[in-house]
């Protein structure tokens, strides 16, 4: 691929990503046995992971989507969450699983969880493909993690830089010269 030249190293191959989806899907299937969770995809980044994850869940699930924006100065999240696309579903007394591509500072996800709690769901859990705890600012931990990663700028498999690289079939570290 032409985009490969911008990648320093591949962190997770397509096969490793599918294995993580299978592992997480099996765990979610066990944890929600006898229930019908509402799987909430946070757009745009989580869309690829979300699709692969729910296909690995051997149970009935409902799906919905949210698009949120965390605005602030530069590239740093302020934690002020603006909902661009809200849920279509009523989540009162529902089991919710928020599916996100990456958890780094935690500011946006922390605020989003607080906002959703006001709608009185039965439970809220968080599933992330990638957890980057070195950058955590807010006290939030995912319940389901594909992989824990070091503090590197990653793209691919839905993750982007400037809306690019989402369609890479793997997760790789972006060469700093691309965004410097």
Residues 6+ apart with CB under 8 A from 101: 42, 45, 46, 48, 49, 128, 129, 130, 157, 158, 159
User: Of 52, 95, 104, 131, which is the active-site residue?
Assistant: 104
Tokens of 58: 């051997």
Which helix (H) or strand (E) covers residue 102, if one does? Answer: strand 95-103
31 as an active site residue: the answer is no
Structure tokens at 30: 């066990």
Q: Which residues are catalytic?
A: 104
């Amino acid at each position: 691929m032409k985009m490969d030249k911008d990648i320093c190293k591949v962190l997770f191959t397509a096969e490793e990503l599918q294995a993580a989806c299978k592992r997480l899907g099996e765990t979610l299937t066990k944890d929600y046995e006898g229930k019908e969770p509402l799987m909430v995809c946070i757009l745009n980044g989580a869309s690829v992971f979300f699709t692969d994850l729910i296909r690995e869940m051997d149970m009935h699930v409902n799906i919905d989507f949210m698009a949120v924006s965390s605005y602030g100065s530069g590239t740093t999240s302020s934690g002020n969450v603006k909902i661009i696309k809200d849920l279509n579903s009523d989540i009162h007394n529902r089991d919710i699983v928020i599916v996100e591509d990456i958890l780094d500072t935690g500011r946006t996800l922390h605020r989003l969880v607080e906002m959703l709690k006001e709608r009185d769901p039965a439970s809220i859990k968080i599933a992330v493909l990638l957890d980057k705890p070195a950058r955590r600012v807010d006290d939030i931990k995912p319940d389901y993690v594909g992989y824990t990663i070091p503090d590197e700028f990653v793209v691919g498999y839905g993750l982007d830089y400037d809306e690019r690289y989402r369609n890479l079939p793997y997760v790789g570290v972006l060469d700093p010269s691309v965004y410097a």
